[in-house]
Amino acid sequence: MEDIPEKYEGGTVKKFMFLNRRAPHGTVYAQESLEVVLIGAAFEQDVSIVFLDDGVYQIRKGQDTSAIGTKNFSKTFRALEMYDVDKLYVEKESMEARGMTVDDLNVPVEMKTCEEIGRLMEEQDVILSF
């Protein structure tokens, strides 16, 4: 009988890419995406996250939701590394349109052009857009 490596027990590992495209607090999309990312990580899947369009605002530094009475989930992005989710990308074009640089962000990311992101997408098994 073929030996199954322990890490694959219970299923195969697929490449999941999350496309986060919405601003963080006006709608529930950003928070829901983060929930699914954490589920993927819990099942030891190969997860990457791309922040584009208004999604780049999700990881902006210094968010403080105390005055609007909602959960500040921006801190959770900093914990993703503990779940081996360390492939975080931002789209260069989205950052530039919003006058932002990587210094404005609260997590280490890799800046990619839209074309590079398009190529990354081709390597994926599953793509989820929020």
Partner 1 sequence: MAILHTVNKSPFEKNSLETCLRIAIEGSSVLFIEDGVYGAMDGTSLNGKVSDASNRLHFYVLGPDLKARGLSEGEVMDCIEVIDYEGFVDLVVKHDATHACL
Q: Exactly one of 27, 32, 79, 121 binds partner 1 (CB under 8 A); which one?
A: 27
- Asked if 90 and 56 count as a contact pair (C-beta separation under 8 A), the reply is yes
Binding of residue 54 to partner 1 (CB under 8 A): yes
- What CA–CA distance (Å, rounded) separates 68 from 95? 25
Binding segment toward partner 1, per CB under 8 A, in 24-32, 38-46, 77-85, 110-118: 24-32
Binding of residue 22 to partner 1 (CB under 8 A): yes
3-state secondary structure of 27: coil
Beta bridge partners of 105: 60
Binding of residue 67 to partner 1 (CB under 8 A): yes
3-state secondary structure of 119: helix
Cβ distance to partner 1 smaller for residue 47 or 80: 80
